[in-house]
Structure 1
Amino acid sequence: MRVRPVPGLNVAVDADGRLELRTASDFGPGRYWCGPVGTMMWIALRQHDGDVGAAAETLAALWETDPANARADLDIWVDEVRDAGLVRNEPTP
């Protein structure tokens, strides 16, 4: 599975490593803040063109943890961001 930002998504990271994802929709502005761990997840996803599996492998190596645990944490985070309307799933080619 690949995860892509929705069209018009604005992304910012502040000096403390907090990630802000913002978009406007028919239902009003969507805004999501997260700390440095979420920021790392976002960067890993973008580095791997939205490939959740590859991003989880990168995070597991960085965090020196089991890849299955990194994948579970990433899946939970992606679900939250998708539920907020800020990313969408695309089938893997």
Structure 2
Amino acid sequence: MCVRPAPELSFTVEADGQMEILATTVDGTARFSSGPVGTAMWIALRQHDGDTAAAARSLAGVWGLEPVNVRADLEIWVNEMRDAGLVYDEPCMAHP
């Protein structure tokens, strides 16, 4: 499964790496804030079309960490975003 942003999503990133994501949901506006690590995870997810495994491998290479550890942290973070209504799961599309 791949992680997709909720419809009507917007985000801002400050110079210090702080990010705020807003989404319009059936319950109103969902808001999620994160620091530079969460911002990097968000960017990696978008760069890898929502593929958490690929995003974790990419971040692990940049951060010099084990991919399995980065993936565990990424999955926790994605679960928090899912609970906030900011992302949803969808089958990954095969790339030619």
Identify the TM-score tier after normalising by the shorter chain.
over 0.9
Q: What's the C-alpha RMSD, in Å, of the aligned pairs? A: 0.8
Is the contact between residue 19 and residue 33 of structure 2 (CA under 8 Å) also seen in structure 1?
Answer: yes
Determine if the alignment matches structure 1 residue 64 to structure 2 residue 71. no
In the alignment, residue 26 of structure 1 is paired with which amino acid?
V
Please report how far the alpha carbon of residue 23 of structure 1 lies from its aligned counterpart in structure 2 after TM superposition: 1.1
Determine if the alignment matches structure 1 residue 35 to structure 2 residue 35. yes
CA distance in 2, matches of 1:24, 1:47: 23
3-state SS in 2 of match to 1:53:
helix
Structure 2: 5+ residue stretches without partners:
none
Q: Which residue of 1 aligns with 2:53?
A: 53
Please report how far the alpha carbon of residue 26 of structure 1 lies from its aligned counterpart in structure 2 after TM superposition: 2.1
CA distance in 2, matches of 1:54, 1:64: 15
Q: Which residue of 1 aligns with 2:78?
A: 78
Runs of at least 4 residues of structure 1 off by over 4 A?
none
Q: TM-score, normalised by structure 2?
A: 0.93
Cα offsets for 1:46-88 (capped at 9, x unmatched): 0001111100000110110111000000000000001100000
In the alignment, residue 42 of structure 2 is paired with which amino acid?
W
Structure 1: 5+ residue stretches without partners:
none
Q: TM-score, normalised by structure 1?
A: 0.95
3-state SS in 2 of match to 1:54:
helix
3-state SS in 2 of match to 1:3:
strand
User: Taking every aligned residue pair, what percent have the same amino acid on both sides?
Assistant: 57
CA distance in 2, matches of 1:26, 1:41: 26
